[in-house]
Structure 1
Amino acid sequence: MSDTISIQEALIYVMVITSASDASMTDSELATMGEVVKTLPVFKGYESANVLPAAQRCGERLQAETGLTDVLGLIADILPVHLFDTAYALAVEVAAADLGVSKEELRILQLLRDRFSLDKLTVAAIERGAIARHKTA
Structure 2
Amino acid sequence: MNEREIESIRDLTRRLPAFREFDPDRLSATIEDCSAILQEPEGLTALLGLVTQALSEPLRETAYWVALELALSDHRVALEEIRVIETLRRALGLDKLVAAALERGARARYQVS
TM-score, with structure 1 as normaliser: 0.77
Give 2:25's match in structure 1, choosing from 34, 37, 49: 49
Give the direction of change, closer, same or farther, for the CA distance of 1:131–1:117 in structure 2 (3 Å limit): same
Q: CA RMSD in A?
A: 1.2
Residue 114 of structure 1 and its aligned partner are, at CA, apart by 0.8
Identical counterparts, % of pairs? 36
Aligned pair count reads: 113
Which structure carries more relative contact order (alpha carbon 8 Å, separation 6+)? 1
For the residue of structure 1 that corresponds to 2:52, the secondary structure is helix
Measure, in 1, the Cα distance between the counterparts of 2:21 and 2:82. 31
Give 1:124's match in structure 2, choosing from 91, 100, 107: 100
Return structure 1 stretches of 4+ with deviation > 3 angstroms: none
The structure with the largest helix share of the pair is 2
Measure, in 2, the Cα distance between the counterparts of 1:134 and 1:29. 14
TM-score, with structure 2 as normaliser: 0.92
Segments of 5+ residues of structure 1 without an aligned counterpart are 1-24
Residue 60 of structure 1 and its aligned partner are, at CA, apart by 1.4
Give the direction of change, closer, same or farther, for the CA distance of 1:45–1:72 in structure 2 (3 Å limit): closer
Measure, in 2, the Cα distance between the counterparts of 1:39 and 1:99. 21
Give 2:51's match in structure 1, choosing from 54, 65, 75: 75
